[in-house]
Amino acid sequence: MTESVLSPKLPAWLAGGGEEGDIVLSSRIRLARNMKGLPFPDRADKDGLETVLRAAAAQLPAVAEATGKAMSLLKLADLPAVDRYVLVEKHLISPALAEAPAGRAVLISEDASVSVMVNEEDHFRLQVMRPGLDLTGALALADRVDDALEAGIDFAFDERIGYLTACPTNVGAALRASVMLHLPGLALTKQIDHMAGAAAQVGLAVRGLYGEGSEASGNLFQISNQLSLGYSEQELVENLTGMVRQIVGQERAARKRLLDRSTIAVEDLAFRAFGILSYAHRLDSGEALMLASQVRLGADLSLLPVDPALFNELVVVTRPNYVQKFFAGEDSDQGRRDVVRATMVRGKMARSKRPDGSGLVAVEETGGLVVVEEASGEAAPGEAKPKKRGTGKSAGKKSAEKKTTDDKGAAEGGAGEQAEEG
């Protein structure tokens, strides 16, 4: 089970699909809980942290039963830095947890849709992630996990104000709902600032790929509630869902305007990005993600014969620690990772096609050379298909003992689907 969590296997929520799945990548519910009578983790001594760890381990079977999935408990002090930061890049833990592993742990489901951080800012921070816009489904599962923990743990709770948390902004329902959206249309039409301002007026925050303190990468943005005091869980979910639907409508309108008024410019942007990802021999992580965003836009607008779900995968597999652990090797420097990343992406681009069968399909690999051919779902009998050539040799796989931080776009600013925003 531990090997599965730390394998190249991607979290279930990255599979794509779900409501509004062409714009909304994922929905997340996070609940913060603390044990009654114990100091918060940043004030606790070693014995206090160990008490919380023992409580988490004791409830592991109950959590597994509540989720219907096998669960594992990973003590972060037992993991090398690169493994901890792969968990950050998979949106399973926060950088704060990865950076201070002593006395910290995480419970993770086999499909990585549920995780419970132990001794982060609060004693327990449980999160559930779902593909597309599905905060209601995420909340239902999060509540079951919460009940499983509470069956054996006495949580700090005040009848007047609600759950007690380390950060005052989480007091009350102690719920943070967030949605990750791909918004290239609003970014290209320079409407992101206006959207963020409108969201702030209704108590929502707009952040980058890894949450608080992170910049937007690949036109990915997170929308989340800022306060939970005075609101019920259902109210928080309904408020955010309503705002997200408005933003999705604005993004669709922006894409339509771009296609109607700037067709050649949009086609050029998408096809240039497609060409670079298909043939580049060196890519840093920030460039790879932005180009992937532009290809996804082209696919969503039916300009490119590429499976849009490829973008979801590249959100994780192009990250520096993921590349280092699974492809480049522990001794690789940034230059080596950029070369290996480009090789990996070329291979994925060669194999990507739409569900109907159209796109580029690899048909042969010899001597490190990937031969690909144009394919369509309904090719005419006997029709000649032009071939293109590019390299797609994979590098060896090694584990690493250190965190990788020198690539652009490294997971430095947050976690979970998002960083823990406090």
The pLDDT value recorded for residue 70 is: 94
Tokens for 350, please give them: 């060669």
* Tally of CB atoms within 10 A around 301: 18
CA distance 125 to 174: 10
Residue in this structure with the two tokens 């979801």, named with its chain if needed: 312
Mean pLDDT of 233-251: 96
The pLDDT-based confidence of 3 (bands split at 50, 70, 90) is low
Q: Where are the alpha helices (DSSP H) in 231-358?
A: 233-261, 263-279, 285-300, 309-317, 320-323, 334-351
The pLDDT-based confidence of 385 (bands split at 50, 70, 90) is very low
CA distance 109 to 103: 20
Contact (CB, 8 A) for 147 and 66: yes
Cα torsion 68, 69, 73, 79 to 10°: value is -160
Mean pLDDT of 10-17: 85
Query: Tens digits of per-residue pLDDT, 258-312?
Result: 999 999 999 999 999 999 999 999 999 999 999 999 999 999 999 998 998 899 9
Those residues whose C-beta lies under 8 Å from the C-beta of residue 219, and which sit 6 or more positions away, are 182, 183, 184, 187, 290, 293
Contact (CB, 8 A) for 363 and 371: yes
Lowest mean pLDDT among 55-64, 68-77, 99-108, 378-387: 378-387
- Number of alpha helices (DSSP H) and beta strands (DSSP E) in the chain: 14, 13
Contact (CB, 8 A) for 41 and 120: yes
Lowest mean pLDDT among 141-145, 226-230, 351-355: 351-355
Tokens for 383, please give them: 């029709």
The HSE-up count of residue 109 (CA atoms within 13 Å, CB side) is: 23
CA distance 104 to 75: 6
Q: How far apart are the first and last CA of the chain?
A: 30
Tokens for 59, please give them: 């409830």
Fold of 2-248: Creatine Kinase; Chain A, domain 2 (3.30.590)
Residue 5 reports pLDDT greater than 90: no
Which residues share a beta bridge with 362?
Answer: 372
Per-domain residue ranges of the chain: 2-248, 263-391
Amino acid at 418: Q
Q: Where are the alpha helices (DSSP H) in 162-262?
A: 184-188, 192-201, 233-261
Query: Tens digits of per-residue pLDDT, 103-122?
Result: 999 999 999 999 999 999 99
Residue 223 reports pLDDT greater than 60: yes
CA distance 45 to 43: 7
Residue 54 reports pLDDT greater than 90: yes
Query: Tens digits of per-residue pLDDT, 318-355?
Result: 999 999 999 988 788 999 999 999 999 999 999 886 55
Tokens for 222, please give them: 């997170």
